[in-house]
A and B are shown apart, each in its own frame.
Chain A
Amino acid sequence: MAISIEHYLVLSAILFLIGAFGVITRRNILIVLMCLELMLNAANLAFVGFSRALDDMTGHIFMIMSLTVAAAEVAVGLALVVAIYKHRETLNIDVLKLLKG
């Protein structure tokens, strides 16, 4: 018996929500970035799952585009993290509120 598309969608939802929960609750900016990756990965899983269900490979193309954006985002994000850490000696996003008047 083959696994249906709903299984993949529910798994994708679970992974996405765990990631969303982490983004909201964690205070370490590095962990927040990792949870963002988790959410993007869950979206990719949904793309590939739908691609299989609809028998259309456009989902694969979209997954590769999303992967590229994720890689660029991580590179810039981690560079910012390093710069912030050099400047402020902390990664707690409750402390990093310089822009807040």
Chain B
Amino acid sequence: METVVFYVFAALAVAGAIVVVTHSNPVYSAISLVLTLFSTAVLFVLLHADFVAVVQVLVYAGAIMILFLFTVMFLNIRPEAFKFDSKYMKFKISVFMVLLLFVGYFASLGFSRGLKRSYTESVDFGSAKGVGTMLFTDYLLPFELTSVLIVAAIIGVVAIAKRRDG
């Protein structure tokens, strides 16, 4: 059962990602990105990360993608064909880089052999209670610092968007 769910949603995630990269219309790209992010949320549930899965759906698939879709529709841009020919050299370089990354990644997978395999099936693992306890005890300072980051982002966005001289 777990295996089937993993493969189905892994395939959905990869398919969505491929559509994001290749589709000419940004609206379809954004919708496919929602599919990928949602499939990833299902995989988080498989990894016993319930709270993180909920946050993924709410923040990523909800808020961030709404922002993307709003911008795409606000700007009213024409679809642009996905073509390789004009930047042929750049294409070859990028394919080479991607393959290199892939080879390096699979080589490094050998180092993950020593990871612990026996899970202590703790009730709190990945729950809102477990994550919240960690967030408000051990990681209180980083958690508070993210609020500074968000305030900086809000002020920056308002400052950029409010300019009238454009």
> Which residues of chain A have a CB within 8 Å of any CB of chain B?
1-3, 5-11, 13-22, 24-28, 30-31, 33-35, 37-38, 41, 44-45, 48-55, 57-58, 60-61, 63-65, 67-76, 78-83, 85-87, 91-92
Contacts and interface: CB of A to CB of B under 8 A. Distances in A.
A20 to B, nearest CB: 6
Given A3-B46, A81-B71, A21 B21 contact: yes
B157 A24 contact: no
Contacts of B30: 34
Interface in B67-85: 67-68, 71-72, 74-75, 77, 80, 82, 84
A80 B117 CA distance: 45
Contacts of B44: 45, 48
Contacts of B94: 21, 24-25
A2 B2 contact: yes
Interface of chain B: mostly helix, strand, loop or mixed: helix
- The number of chain B residues touching the other chain, given as a range, is 35 or more
B166 A83 contact: yes
B77 A13 contact: no
A6 B112 CA distance: 8
Interface of B: 2-3, 6, 10, 13-14, 17-18, 20-21, 26, 29-30, 33, 36-37, 40, 43-44, 46-49, 51-52, 55-56, 59-60, 63-64, 67-68, 71-72, 74-75, 77, 80, 82, 84, 87, 90-91, 93-95, 97-98, 101-102, 105-106, 109, 112, 115-117, 119-120, 125-126, 130-131, 134-135, 139, 142, 146, 149-150, 152-154, 156-157, 160-161, 163, 166
B103 to A, nearest CB: 11
B14 A54 contact: no
Given A3-B46, A8-B47, A79-B156, 16 more contacts: A11-B14, A21-B21, A30-B71, A38-B36, A44-B40, A53-B117, A55-B125, A61-B131, A71-B150, A72-B152, A75-B67, A75-B153, A76-B156, A78-B67, A80-B160, A83-B166
Contacts of B59: 67, 71
Contacts of A92: 80
